[in-house]
Amino acid sequence: MLFDVWGSDTLIHWAGWAMVFIGLIVLNEVGRRTKLGAAIIFGVAPLAMTIYCVAIAIGVSQGAEWALTNPTHVYQNSWFHYAKVYAALAGCWGFIAIKYQWGKIGKAHWFRAWPFVIVAINIMIAVVSDFESAYHFFVLGQSTWVTSEGATQLAGWNNVFNGIAGIINIFCMTGWWSVYASEDKTDMLWPDMTWVYIIAYDIWNFCYTYNCLPTHSWFCGFALLLAPTVAAFIWNKGGWIQNRAFTLAIWCMFAQVFPYFQEESIFVTHSTLDPGAATAVSIAALVANVAAIIYIAYRAKKLGRNPYKQDVFEGTSDWEKATARRAKVDYAHAE
């Protein structure tokens, strides 16, 4: 069993999960469909969060009791949370610039590699966190350790397997410059990022949250990953990476300011901290990403293409549906 969800509080656990899942889908739609929604969610909200977090940091430095006991300081004080939220927001604004074709940068050919760069950075943040946990096992001899936020993590080969899976996942991204605005300007599209990558990424990232965020994984692993994937598979073909960035940023901001929800509320759902489950999920992540990179290599050889400079999934159903949504922009000659 992966999570402690079965028992007298089962309905409460699932209600909390549903609130997060539905909330992320709704807010993602608001952010992608309207400029005002994007401005509020990815502009005003981050500014307010930053002011709030800076105020807490100042209070902590002065030894203020209200700051030292603030849930954001108690539960969200590690480097990872701050790196993740601002990296996600950087991705969001780059994607927004591309989808609205803002100025020269929004149409520039070189900037279309930004999605690859920022996703790779986000993945490496998680990989470093996995290897940080592995360090506790291989160097410090700890099979479990407690983070600065009071969360108990399992440490061992599960972190190594998943860290390697994350590195492979970076190279499963193909067609780095094949990124476009949609004709209706609701989405930034990456047609070559098909189900092959999405599934490999989701399994890897779920495993990461299970390994390193065991008190949050029910929400930031299960619900947060499923929300953008459902949208991409059903009504937003080609827009998965934008869905992912938007929902990730929204969740990270919420968790940073309101950690009480996942730490102390009635909806708290923890992983079982079962070493066997953690190892099994990590092996699944590694196998999925090895399978994905092998299939990508096969497609590249079959089509005679460089998988990073050219699309390797051209001709597949997902690629065709995403490409059909492209705006008619001459990116090749945009300055």
Q: Give the pLDDT mean for 37-66.
A: 97
Q: What is the pLDDT of residue 8?
A: 86
d(CA 17, CA 296): 34
- Residues spanned by the domain of 151: 10-333
Q: What is the pLDDT of residue 335?
A: 43
Q: Is 276 exposed, middle or buried (0-12, 13-18, 19+ CB in 10 A)?
A: exposed
Residue at 126: amino acid letter: A
Q: What is the pLDDT of residue 330?
A: 55
Phi (first) and psi of residue 326, to 5 degrees: -60, 145
Is the model's pLDDT at 331 over the cut of 60?
Answer: no
> Which residue reads 């953008």 in tokens?
228
Tokens representing 64?
A: 């203020």
Task: Kindly indicate the confidence band of residue 323, based on its pLDDT and cuts at 50, 70 and 90.
Answer: very high
Q: Which residues fall within 8 angstroms of residue 49, CB to CB, at 6 or more apart?
A: 85, 253, 256, 257
Is the model's pLDDT at 234 over the cut of 60?
Answer: yes
Q: Does a structural domain hold residue 305?
A: yes
Task: Kindly indicate the confidence band of residue 188, based on its pLDDT and cuts at 50, 70 and 90.
Answer: very high
Q: Does a structural domain hold residue 248?
A: yes
Task: Kindly indicate the confidence band of residue 333, based on its pLDDT and cuts at 50, 70 and 90.
Answer: very low
Q: Give the pLDDT mean for 210-221.
A: 94
d(CA 130, CA 11): 32
Residue at 88: amino acid letter: A
Q: Does a structural domain hold residue 3?
A: no
- CA triplet 269, 273, 275: central angle to 5 degrees? 150
SS3 271: strand
Q: Compute the Cα dihedral for 154, 126, 147, 140 and give only its sign.
A: positive
The string of pLDDT tens digits covering residues 286-321 is: 999 999 999 999 999 999 999 999 999 999 999 999
Q: Give the pLDDT mean for 84-100.
A: 97
d(CA 30, CA 28): 5
Is the model's pLDDT at 162 over the cut of 60?
Answer: yes
Q: Does a structural domain hold residue 5?
A: no
Secondary structure (H, E, C), 103-155:
HHHHHCCHHHHHHHHHHHHHHHHHHHHHHHHHHHHHCCCCCEEECCCCCEEEC
Q: Does a structural domain hold residue 170?
A: yes
Q: Give the pLDDT mean for 260-266.
A: 94
Specify the range with the lowest mean pLDDT, choosing from 61-65, 212-216, 304-308: 212-216
* Total domains present in the chain: 1
Q: What is the pLDDT of residue 41?
A: 98
Is the model's pLDDT at 128 over the cut of 60?
Answer: yes
Is the model's pLDDT at 127 over the cut of 50?
Answer: yes
